[in-house]
Chain A
Amino acid sequence: DAKTTQPNSMESNEEEPVHLPCNHSTISGTDYIHWYRQLPSQGPEYVIHGLTSNVNNRMASLAIAEDRKSSTLILHRATLRDAAVYYCILRAANTRGSNYKLTFGKGTLLTVNP
């Protein structure tokens, strides 16, 4: 699987935007970029994913570089409940449609200050 690189930790203030970077220089053409986050003592939850175009949903936005070698997860207004470990994961499109698995790196621990 192609590897991703994220900062170990980041800090933000409440109600300010947060930009969480992810480098994936060895991404292949069919790799989707997925973001999950894990709140303390909980299982991960899906945040967003994309392939080439920028994506928006109710939780966040995903900005993907034109060469796809990096991406940025954007939380538009951080809240205390957004404090979590954020994982950027590449997932290959699998033509069989099953058994593709998520490989978690260390992620970025986001601290949100009140």
Chain B
Amino acid sequence: GAVVSQHPSRVICKSGTSVKIECRSLDFQATTMFWYRQFPKQSLMLMATSNEGSKATYEQGVEKDKFLINHASLTLSTLTVTSAHPEDSSFYICSAREGNVMNTEAFFGQGTRLTVV
């Protein structure tokens, strides 16, 4: 099956710094990628939808200036957590689907565990 790769899988950063997480579709072109956040013992919450070549669409309550999303190519989307604080510590997961084909499955990255100290 298709593979979505996230990097890094784990990162620790100091409060106030920025962290970039990469999400790559390895064997297909992803016009749309999704970014989720998951706190311990909770479900995945969609943060934003990333479209190649255009601005991301953020879910209500998600600050677009804090969580910068760039989807510059059909195989790469990046999420930058700017001025990270301990409350941003979470498991960040990206998802991608192939092209504009309807009703295909979504492929997920392995997730990035962010710890802000």
Contacts and interface: CB of A to CB of B under 8 A. Distances in A.
Question: Do the two chains bind?
Answer: yes
Interface in B34-70: 34, 36, 43-46, 49, 51, 57
A93 B102 contact: yes
Question: Interface extent on A, as a size class?
Answer: 20 to 34
A14 to B, nearest CB: 25
A99 B49 contact: yes
Interface in B76-117: 91, 93-95, 99-103, 105-111, 113
The SS class assigned to the A binding surface is loop
Given A42-B110, A107-B43, A98 B100 contact: yes
13 contacts: A44-B108, A95-B102, A96-B100, A98-B32, A99-B49, A99-B51, A101-B34, A101-B46, A102-B46, A103-B46, A104-B36, A104-B43, A105-B43
